[in-house]
Amino acid sequence: MTPRFMVRVYYEDTDAGGVVYYANYLKYLERARTELLRELGFEQHQLAGEAGLAFAVRSLTVEYLKPARLDDRLGVATVVEAIGRAQVTFAQSVVRAEEILLTATVRVACLDLVRGKATAMPQSLHDKLKALR
């Protein structure tokens, strides 16, 4: 997987031991998925405001392999692993240079914000995500 989203580790990202606090990796993964949608022409605020849709993490599995530290420049790679009408499974990784620090599988569901239930994502978004497989 080639990183598409880059992030720098700031002091606020680290714990008392000087390494990235485990939960902050989830923020990096979220940002990378958001930027992928943006690259495809879909802004989160437009999906919510115009279509009444949002994506929510349904499940995730994370393997923390090596620590990242203050000032590291990290890349986050995101690949569509599987896609259905109302959900997408992403394979993601965080790397430092060529070194894999974290791998994750993240399943997100498309939600109707009014009903609070899963719903089919717009066909145009589905088609663009499917083309990434």
Catalytic residues: 15
3-state secondary structure of 109: strand
3-state secondary structure of 93: strand
Residue that the structure tokens 């949002």 belong to: 54
Q: What secondary structure does DSSP assign to 35-57, as a single string?
A: HHHHHTT--HHHHHHHH-EEEEE
